Structure 1
C-alpha cells in the first residue's frame, strides 16, 4: 500500500485548479447530510464523527494527518482519488463504503 505522504505529493499543486471545490462540497453536504458516502460526502464531514474518522483511518491510514488535508478536506474521496497518484484505490473506497454503510444504518 502506498503511503499518503508519497502518493499525494502532487495533490497540493492540483488543488489550485479546484478552487470551486469547497463551494461544491457545501452543496454536496446539504444533499447528503443523512448518509455518508465515499463518493459524495466531503472528507471533513466523514471525519467529523469519531466513527467516521475511525473508518477513514482504518481504510486510508494517514489521510487525515496528511500535510495537505486542510486543502482537500472539503472534497469527496472520489474527487481526490485521481490526484492521489494511486494512493487511493477503488478497493479502499469500497471497503470504506462498507464501513460507512454500517454507520448509516
Structure 2
C-alpha cells in the first residue's frame, strides 16, 4: 500500500516539471554550489533521483525507504528531480520524517 501511495504522489509531480522551469538556462553559476553538498556526502536530498539510483547502494536506499519509486510508470518523468523537489508535490505523502530517514541512509553511503 505504501508503494501505491508514494507512486501516486510521484505521479502528481509529473505535471509540474513541464511548467516549473521559468528561469532562463543559466545553470553554470550553480555548478560550484552543487559541488559543496557532494563534499558532505555522496548523495543528498538535492541529488537527482536518477543519480542516486544509478549507484547500487543509492538504489537500495530508495527501494527500501520509498518502495515503488524506481518501478513507477512515470519514473522517467520525475527521475531528474531531487527528493526535495518531489516531496512538496506529494500532498504530504512524502513526509519530513521519510525525508529524514532517506537523508540518514544516503549519508551512510561511502
Same structural fold, with TM-score higher than 0.5 when normalized by the shorter chain: yes
Count of aligned pairs between the two proteins: 100
- Does residue 75 (structure 1) correspond to residue 81 (structure 2)? The answer is yes
Q: 1:96 to 1:50 in 2, by over 3 A?
A: same
- Does residue 37 (structure 1) correspond to residue 44 (structure 2)? The answer is yes
Query: Which structure's CA Rg is the greater one?
Result: 2
Q: 1:75 to 1:8 in 2, by over 3 A?
A: closer
Q: Is there any run of 5+ residues in structure 1 with no aligned partner, and where? A: none
- Does residue 53 (structure 1) correspond to residue 55 (structure 2)? The answer is no
2-side partners of 1:8 and 1:41: how far apart? Answer: 16
> What residue number does 2:15 align with?
13
> What residue number does 2:95 align with?
89
1-side partners of 2:14 and 2:98: how far apart? Answer: 21
Q: Is there any run of 5+ residues in structure 2 with no aligned partner, and where? A: none
With structure 2 as the length reference, what TM-score do the two structures score? 0.74
Are 1:11 and 1:68, in contact at CA under 8 Å, matched by a contact in 2? no
Distance apart, 1:19 and its partner CA: 4.4
Distance apart, 1:10 and its partner CA: 2.4
Distance apart, 1:33 and its partner CA: 4.9
With structure 1 as the length reference, what TM-score do the two structures score? 0.77
Q: 1:36 to 1:9 in 2, by over 3 A?
A: closer
